[in-house]
Amino acid sequence: MLRTLKSDIEIIRERDPAARGILEIFLCYPGFQSIIVHRFTHKLWLLKVPLIPRLLSHINRLLTGIEIHPGAKIGEKVFIDHGMGVVIGETAEIGNNCLLYQGVTLGGTGKSHGKRHPTLMENVVVGAGAKVLGSIIIGQNTRIGAGSVVVRNVEENSTVVGIPGRVVHQSGVKVNPLAHSALPDAEANVIKNLMDRIDQLENQILKLQNTLQCLVNSESIDISKVGSAQNLKDKEIIEFLGDE
């Protein structure tokens, strides 16, 4: 128990530059407090003590804003950063070195009494507001972007973004849990690729029109002027993509 407690403190000091001391972690980190209470309620749950584990987990939620069912399995060095609004279901499993931000839900699907919540393998990062639903497995070293909704299994060393969550990158490189700005914008990339393709097709049509016009009356069309007038990259699209 003491070794687990020490590892829980170490991971907070490692991943949160705002942590200035052990006393501050004990008194001011609801994620740490909720996990400490959960480790106790989980032992009671395994001993099949009636009511008390659920009651303590309810009190834990009232005090920290984090709801962890006493049946959930949580490994070592798990850090719930800020934590308000985090929900972890009964059959959820969280591996070592995982990082969860505020608003994360590890939720269930269906009404069966078996395994119905997700399993996070080691070193998984789940961004703020992300929802991981159902009896699915998230492979180790995976990063789930903020606001994503994941409903399918994810292989290890992946990056998942969007609704529904899609794997946009598999690098084989260990996740940097604090590299939030490194997540790709999958939707913007797809739209940009479609715009580029449409521009190519429009230019081809303009060339064909120019050739046809030359054959008809030997008068050419200024392709550059027509293309700029019909270019799809108007101001609204450019602002959405973040182009300058």
At 15-46, the pLDDT tens digits run 888 888 888 888 888 999 999 999 999 999 99
pTM equals 0.72
Radius of gyration of the chain (CA): 25
pLDDT band (50, 70, 90) for residue 1: low
Would the pLDDT of 8 be above 80?
yes
If one compares 179 and 228, the residue with the highest pLDDT of the two is: 179
Cα 184 to Cα 9: distance, rounded to the nearest angstrom: 31
Contact 53, 65 (CB under 8 A): no
pLDDT band (50, 70, 90) for residue 162: confident
> Hey, what are 24's tokens?
């501050």
Burial classification of residue 2, based on how many CB atoms lie within 10 Å of its CB (0-12 exposed, 13-18 middle, 19 or more buried): exposed
If one compares 170 and 29, the residue with the highest pLDDT of the two is: 29
At 100-127, the pLDDT tens digits run 999 999 998 877 788 999 999 999 999 9
What amino acid is encoded at 54 in this protein?
R
For 23, 145, 160, 202, 238, the CA distances from 191, given in Å and listed in that order, are 49, 19, 18, 16, 11
Angle formed by the axes of helices 186-217 and 223-230, nearest 10°: 140
